[in-house]
Amino acid sequence: MQDQSVRSRRAVLRAAGGLAGAVLVQGCTTNAIVPIAQNAPVVPPPQRLAAAPVPAAPVRQMRAPATVNPRLFERAQAALSRHAGRIQRTDRIAIADFAVDSAHPRFQFIDMHSGVVSAMRVAHGSGSDPAHCGRLERFSNVPDSNATSEGAFITDNYYVGKHGRSQRLLGLDPTNDNALMRAIVVHGAWYANPEMIAQHGKLGRSQGCFAVAEGDLARVFSLLGEGRMIYAAKV
């Protein structure tokens, strides 16, 4: 059987112009024969200049405010230091504490100078809570998973999309670096409004985005701004 396969491949190559003029390339679904140009000039790859290193601003270390999970806050401060070269504004951070269920204010905005905390509710992705129990069960960075991703994000620019005014996010860790491609953003949603708690005891689910109550969106945007960190985790 192996000799027959080899003879078949050689016959295909001869039909395409000989072994010297073709190679067999395996794609996702089929094999294709691609001719190789003879004596083709070698074009060197473009040279990329290394960007000048950005000095990381010192990050002020502080104790966790009383209403913030201290272990989660410690991890958020470590992420803030680790990504200091990319995070332009470190005066305030946001922590999404996904160990808390969606009925409670778990999106915490922390002033890193005064320690003052503002907290709101935020939805998690349906892929993170398939049974819709109101608690995040797992994270994912996989496209089309509809799940929430874990790690540090940096807030980017605003735009108007299907959910109205929204804010893009860039994932800074291997656990969330598909955020921009997945369109993981901050936006307002009816299923994150307070009446959902009265009716169902929990918020609805997003497709992985940080969805907040429509009435909270303006305040969330004013607290986040551009160039600040959101840290999402469950400890």
Which CATH number is 106's domain given?
2.40.440.10
Please give the pLDDT value at position 61.
81
Q: Answer yes or no: pTM beyond 0.85.
A: no
Q: Does the residue 41 lie in any domain?
A: no
Partners of 143 in beta bridges: none
Q: Does the residue 27 lie in any domain?
A: no
Please give the pLDDT value at position 228.
98
Q: Does the residue 37 lie in any domain?
A: no
Q: Does the residue 55 lie in any domain?
A: no
Please give the pLDDT value at position 74.
97
- The whole-angstrom separation of Cα 172 and Cα 7 is 51
Backbone angles phi, psi at 232, to 5 degrees: -115, 130
Domain count, the chain: 1
Q: Does the residue 34 lie in any domain?
A: no
Q: Are 205 and 132 in contact (CB under 8 A)?
A: yes
Structural domain including 185 reads: 70-233
CA distances from 31 to 10, 14, 16, 21, 37 (A): 14, 16, 13, 16, 19
- The whole-angstrom separation of Cα 136 and Cα 208 is 11
Q: What is the pLDDT along the chain (235 residues), one digit of tens a residue?
A: 445 444 544 444 344 444 333 333 333 333 333 343 444 444 454 444 444 444 545 566 899 999 999 999 999 999 999 999 999 999 999 999 999 999 999 999 999 999 999 999 999 999 999 999 999 999 999 999 999 999 999 999 999 999 999 999 999 999 999 999 999 999 999 999 999 999 999 999 999 999 999 999 999 999 999 999 999 999 9
**Residue written as tokens 């469950």?**
234
**Residue written as tokens 């994912």?**
140
Q: Does the residue 64 lie in any domain?
A: no
Q: Does the residue 77 lie in any domain?
A: yes
Q: Does the residue 44 lie in any domain?
A: no
**What DSSP string describes the chain?**
-HHHHHHHHHHHHHHTT-GGGEEEEE-SS-EEEEE--TTPPPPPPPPPPPPPPPPPPPPPP-PPPTTS-HHHHHHHHHHHHHTTTT-S--SEEEEEETTS-TTS--EEEEETTT--EEEE----BGGG-TT--SS------STT------EEEEEEEEEEETTEEEEEEEE-STTTTTHHHHT-EEEEEGGGSTHHHHHHSS---BSSSEEEEGGGHHHHHHHH-SS-EEEEE--
Q: At residue 10, what is the residue type?
A: R
